[in-house]
Chain A
Amino acid sequence: KAGVTQTPRYLIKTRGQQVTLSCSPISGHRSVSWYQQTPGQGLQFLFEYFSETQRNKGNFPGRFSGRQFSNSRSEMNVSTLELGDSALYLCASSLQGYNEQFFGPGTRLTVL
């Protein structure tokens, strides 16, 4: 069974730009969660989607948004990038939400 894939793996953007990250979950997994990982703040929950609906959202500004498609693939978008958005963005899929989470390799975003 193929694992969770994320594209792109690396991204460099400048302040004010926007970015879209993509995540393909394990086949059959309907829940996709997104996390931001930084050295100072650790792993922070962004949001979780299940069957195309956002079920939960973390404490991030509205610049961070996401969506899930009917095939369970998910995208997250960050608009008006700030330097502090530089981080590793991880997505994780699971069968039904907060059970065992299978993480993708992450997208390393650098904002200059």
Chain B
Amino acid sequence: GQQVMQIPQYQHVQEGEDFTTYCNSSTTLSNIQWYKQRPGGHPVFLIQLVKSGEVKKQKRLTFQFGEAKKNSSLHITATQTTDVGTYFCAGPDNQFYFGTGTSLTVIP
């Protein structure tokens, strides 16, 4: 079956440093979505990318969808303590596949 892997699994950064998580799917995706889950919370939708090579920005967050529509990345510039949480990518096939997640810790 389809697999969606994310790396790294964990990332600790000093506040102000940049952070990137990478998402790789074993199959081509029609779209990719990103979610953030704060500790003790539930996943919250961040963004959806649909087009090959698409890049979208939300303030300090930059999302990219690969040309082959099999990979994606999320980059956070100058991390803040409010960025703490686990970031998941997710994509639909015959079901909805979530990536393995990247847990971000920001050290003040």
Task: Report which A residues bind B (CB closer than 8 A).
Answer: 33, 35, 42-45, 48, 56-59, 90, 92, 97-106
Contacts and interface: CB of A to CB of B under 8 A. Distances in A.
A48 B98 contact: no
B42 A101 contact: no
A103 B42 contact: yes
A24 to B, nearest CB: 15
Contacts of B98: 35, 42-45
Interface string B80-108: 00000000101010111111110000000
Interface residues on B, range: 20 to 34
Given A59-B1, A103-B43, A43 B101 contact: yes
Q: Identify whether the interface residues of A are mostly helix, strand, loop, or mixed.
A: strand
Q: Which of B45, B94, B95, B97 has the most CB of A within 10 A?
A: B95
Given A59-B1, A100-B33, A45 B45 contact: no
A45 B98 CA distance: 8
Interface of B: 1, 31, 33, 35, 41-45, 48, 88, 90, 92, 94-101
Nearest to A6: B42
Given A42-B101, A43-B88, A48 B42 contact: no
The 3 closest A-B pairs by CB, nearest first: A98-B92, A43-B98, A103-B42
Given A59-B1, A100-B33, A45 B44 contact: no
B102 to A, nearest CB: 11
A56 B93 CA distance: 10
